[in-house]
C-alpha cells in the first residue's frame, strides 16, 4: 500500500475544527489504499485539547517535534507583566481607567464587537513571525519531514494549513525529494477573514511566501471554490474542492427538548470580527419586541474576553448561555439537544471561502441551520443545495428577528422547523472526502511518474 507523508502542525490531541479534517482523512485513507505517516507539532500549552480525537488516529504513525509556537512563547514572556497589571487593577478603587466615567462606552451589541479583541500575545506575535505562529517551527520541520519521507519511503506528500507554515514545509520537502505534493488549504491564506497582517511589509512578505509555495504543488485542494480562486491567483497549477464534512460515526441523533423554548446554538470559537454574535444579539433583542415567546442562544466553545459582560449589558443575560470549550463528541451531544444550529459569518473579504465543519455537522444530524452571513458564499450554496435552513445577512436585523420569531412560533405550534435533504447532505461524509483525497493522491503520483519515465507508476 502506498504511503503519504501528512504535514499538519495541529493534530490530535490538539482540539478545534481544523484538526478534525486530517484526523478523519488519516482514519479513512487506508480504506482507499493509502497509509498516512504524520509529522506534527507537540500540542501547544494552553491551547484547546481534545483527547477524544485520539480515537480517530489509533494505529496511525505520528511523529512529533517541538511546537515553537510564537504567540505561546510571547505569552510566557509577558505573563509577569500581566500579573502585575491584574494586581494594579484590583487595588484601583474605581476599577476604571483614569478619566473614564460610569456611563462611558457603548452598551449594545456594538459594545460586544468592540470588546472582541485578540489576545496581546497574538498581536505581538504577528510582528515577529510571517505568515503565522508556526514560522519558527518550519525550519526544524523541513529537516524532520525530509528525513521521515526518505526513511518511511513515502510516495507523496500532503501539507495542510492553516497555519500555512506547514505548506511552506511541504513545498521545501517536495523540492528536496522530488516527491509529488498536494497542498490542502482549509482556509484562504491571503483572504483569511480572521487574520490581519500588522503592516504592509508583513502582508507583502506573506504574499511572497504564498507565491513561492503554491506553484510547487502538483495540486492544491481546498474547502471552498473561493479558496481555489485565490490559489490560482498565487500560481497554483491545479485546484480541486474537497469540502469539509461530517463523520456519521460521531453524530448523535438530533433530539431537541419539545417542551423547552426555541434554542439556537453556536458550536465553535467566536472570532473577533468574523463570527461575532453581535448581529444575532441585536436580532434577539428585536425579537423580544415582536413576540412573547422566549428564545435561548447557547455558545459552545471559546469567546473573546468581555463578551459575557457585553451580553449582560444588552439585557439578554437571561437568554444567552456560555458553555465553554467541550471535547468534540461532548459538544456534538449538547448541540444535538438544541433546535437550530447557528453559523456566524461577517460580510467581509474572505468570507465567501469560509465554510467551517460545524455547518456540515449540523446538517449531518438533521438539524435546521440559521446562517447569519452573506448569501453569496460557500455556506449559503451548501444550505441551498441541502435545503437545510435559512441565510440572513448580518446587517438585516429586522429580517433576522422575523426569522427567529417564525422559528419560535413553529416550535410552539408543534410544527417541523426545517427538514434537510438527507441525500444531498450525505454527499459531505468524511469517508467520501477521504476517497476523493485518495484519488487525488493517486493522480498526482501517476502524473509525476509518467512525466519522469513515460510509464505509469506502480506500487
Instruction: Pull the grid cell for residue 154.
Output: 513515502
Give residue 305's pLDDT band: very low, low, confident or very high (50, 70, 90): confident
Kindly list the strands in the beta sheet with 340-344, ordered across the sheet, starting from the edge strand earlier in the chain: 320-322, 295-300, 262-267, 340-344, 369-372, 389-392
pLDDT at 447 over 90: yes
**What does the domain layout of the chain look like in residue ranges?**
3-69+129-245+430-453, 262-424
pLDDT band (50, 70, 90) for residue 84 = low
What is the number of alpha carbons within 13 Å of residue 235 lying toward its C-beta? 11
Mean pLDDT of 263-286: 89
Asked whether residue 262 carries a pLDDT value surpassing 90, the answer given is: yes
Interacting residues of 199 by C-beta distance below 8 A, sequence separation 6+: 127
Around Cβ 84, how many Cβ atoms within 10 Å?
Answer: 10
Average pLDDT, the chain: 88
Q: How confident is the model at residue 192 (pLDDT cuts 50, 70, 90)?
A: confident
What is the percentage of the chain residues whose pLDDT exceeds 70? 91
Of the chain, the percentage scoring pLDDT greater than 90 comes to 65
Out of 25-39, 95-109, 272-286, least confident range: 95-109
Q: Which CATH number fits domain 262-424: 3.30.479.10, 3.40.50.2000, 3.30.1180.20, 3.50.50.60?
A: 3.40.50.2000
**102 has pLDDT over 80:** no
Angstrom distance (rounded) from CA 349 to CA 227: 12
Range of weakest confidence among 99-108, 322-331, 395-404, 407-416 = 99-108
Assess whether pLDDT exceeds 90 at residue 146. yes
User: Residues near 327 by Cβ (< 8 Å), separated by ≥ 6?
Assistant: 15, 50, 51, 52, 53
Measured from the Cβ of residue 79, the count of other Cβ atoms closer than 10 Å reads 11
Length of the chain: 459
Cell of 180: 509529488
- The pLDDT assigned to 117 comes to 55
Confidence of residue 91 (pLDDT cuts 50, 70, 90): confident
User: Residue 407 corresponds to which cell in the numbers above?
Assistant: 422559528
Q: Are 355 and 320 in contact (CB under 8 A)?
A: no
The whole-angstrom separation of Cα 273 and Cα 119 is 14
Angstrom distance (rounded) from CA 82 to CA 94: 19
Torsion of CA 7, 13, 15, 17, to 10 degrees: 50
pLDDT higher than threshold 90 for residue 303? no
Q: Mention every residue, 6+ apart, whose C-beta is less than 8 A from residue 278.
A: 109, 110, 112, 113
β-pair type (295-300, 320-322)? parallel
Q: Measured between alpha carbons, how far is residue 11 from residues 51, 128, 368, 396 in Å?
A: 11, 24, 30, 38
Residue 375 neighbours by CB under 8 Å, 6+ apart: 391, 393
Residue 103 has what pLDDT? 36
295 forms beta bridges with 262
Question: Across residues 3-29, what is the average pLDDT?
Answer: 94
CA distance 444 to 181: 8
Most confident of 125-134, 278-287, 414-423: 278-287
State mean pLDDT over 272-287: 89
- Architecture of the domain defined by 3-69+129-245+430-453: 3-Layer(aba) Sandwich (3.40)
3-state secondary structure string, 98-116?
Answer: CCCCCCCCCCCHHHHHHHC
Q: Supply the pLDDT for residue 362.
A: 95
Q: How far is CA 212 from the centre of its chain?
A: 25
- β-partners of residue 158 are 6, 182
pLDDT at residue 458, rounded to an integer: 57
Give the model confidence (pLDDT) of 356-401 as tens digits.
889 999 999 999 999 999 988 889 999 999 999 999 999 999 999 9
- Residues paired with 266 in a beta bridge: 299
Buried b / exposed e along 196-210 (16+ C-beta atoms within 10 A): ebeeeebeeebbebb
List, for residues 152-180, the tens digit of each pLDDT value: 999 999 999 999 999 999 999 999 999 99
pTM above 0.85, yes or no: no
Give bridge partners of residue 174 from the DSSP assignment.
Answer: none
- Report, as an integer, the average pLDDT of 236-244: 96
Which of the residue ranges 35-44, 66-75, 244-253, 296-305 has the most confident prediction, judged by mean pLDDT?
35-44
Q: Is 279 in contact with 394 (CB distance < 8 Å)? A: yes
| pLDDT band (50, 70, 90) for residue 255 | very high
Amino acid at each position: 500500500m502506498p504511503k503519504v507523508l501528512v504535514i499538519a502542525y495541529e493534530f490530535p490531541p490538539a482540539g478545534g475544527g481544523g484538526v478534525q479534517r486530517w484526523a478523519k482523512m488519516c482514519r479513512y485513507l487506508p480504506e482507499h489504499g493509502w497509509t498516512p505517516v504524520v509529522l506534527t507539532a507537540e500540542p501547544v500549552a494552553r491551547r484547546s485539547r481534545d483527547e477524544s480525537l485520539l480515537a480517530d488516529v489509533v494505529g496511525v504513525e505520528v511523529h512529533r517535534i517541538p511546537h515553537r509556537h510564537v504567540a505561546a512563547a510571547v505569552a510566557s514572556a509577558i505573563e509577569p507583566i500581566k500579573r502585575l497589571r491584574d494586581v494594579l487593577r484590583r487595588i484601583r478603587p474605581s476599577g476604571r481607567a483614569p478619566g473614564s466615567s460610569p456611563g462611558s462606552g457603548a452598551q449594545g451589541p456594538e459594545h460586544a464587537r468592540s470588546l472582541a479583541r485578540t489576545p496581546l500575545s497574538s498581536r505581538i506575535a504577528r510582528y515577529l513571525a510571517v505568515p503565522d505562529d508556526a514560522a519558527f517551527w518550519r525550519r526544524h520541520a523541513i529537516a524532520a519531514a525530509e528525513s521521515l519521507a526518505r526513511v518511511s519511503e513515502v510516495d507523496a506528500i500532503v501539507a495542510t494549513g492553516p497555519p500555512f507554515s506547514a505548506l511552506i514545509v511541504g513545498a521545501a520537502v517536495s523540492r528536496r525529494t522530488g516527491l509529488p505534493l498536494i497542498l490542502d488549504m482549509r482556509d484562504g491564506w491571503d483572504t483569511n477573514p480572521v487574520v490581519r497582517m500588522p503592516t504592509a511589509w508583513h502582508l507583502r512578505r506573506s504574499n511572497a511566501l504564498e507565491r513561492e509555495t503554491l506553484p510547487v504543488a502538483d495540486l492544491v485542494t481546498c474547502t471552498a471554490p473561493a479558496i481555489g480562486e485565490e490559489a490560482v491567483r498565487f500560481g497554483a497549477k491545479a485546484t480541486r474542492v474537497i469540502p469539509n464534512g461530517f463523520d456519521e460515526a460521531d453524530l448523535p441523533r438530533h433530539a431537541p427538548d419539545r417542551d423547552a423554548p426555541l434554542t439556537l446554538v453556536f458550536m465553535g470559537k467566536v472570532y473577533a470580527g468574523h463570527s461575532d454574535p453581535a448581529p444575532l444579539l441585536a436580532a434577539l433583542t428585536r425579537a423580544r419586541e415582536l413576540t412573547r415567546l422566549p428564545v435561548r442562544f447557547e455558545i459552545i466553545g471559546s469567546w473573546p474576553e468581555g463578551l459575557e459582560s457585553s451580553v449582560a449589558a444588552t439585557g439578554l443575560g437571561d437568554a444567552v448561555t456560555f458553555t465553554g470549550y467541550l471535547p468534540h463528541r461532548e459538544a456534538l451531544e449538547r448541540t444535538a439537544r438544541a433546535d437550530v444550529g447557528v453559523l456566524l459569518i461577517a460580510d467581509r473579504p474572505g468570507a465567501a471561502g469560509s465554510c467551517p465543519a460545524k455547518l456540515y455537522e449540523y446538517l449531518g444530524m438533521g438539524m435546521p441551520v440559521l446562517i447569519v452571513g452573506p448569501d453569496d458564499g460557500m455556506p449559503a450554496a451548501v444550505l441551498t443545495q441541502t435545503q437545510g435552513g435559512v441565510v440572513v445577512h448580518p446587517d438585516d436585523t429586522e429580517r433576522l428577528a422575523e426569522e427567529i420569531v417564525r422559528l419560535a412560533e413553529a416550535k410552539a405550534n408543534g410544527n417541523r422547523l426545517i427538514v434537510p435533504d438527507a441525500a444531498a447532505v450525505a454527499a459531505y461524509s468524511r469517508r467520501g472526502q477521504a476517497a476523493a483525497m485518495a484519488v487525488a493522491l493517486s493522480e498526482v503520483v501517476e502524473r509525476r511518474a509518467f512525466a519522469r519515465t513515460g510509464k505509469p507508476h506502480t506500487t
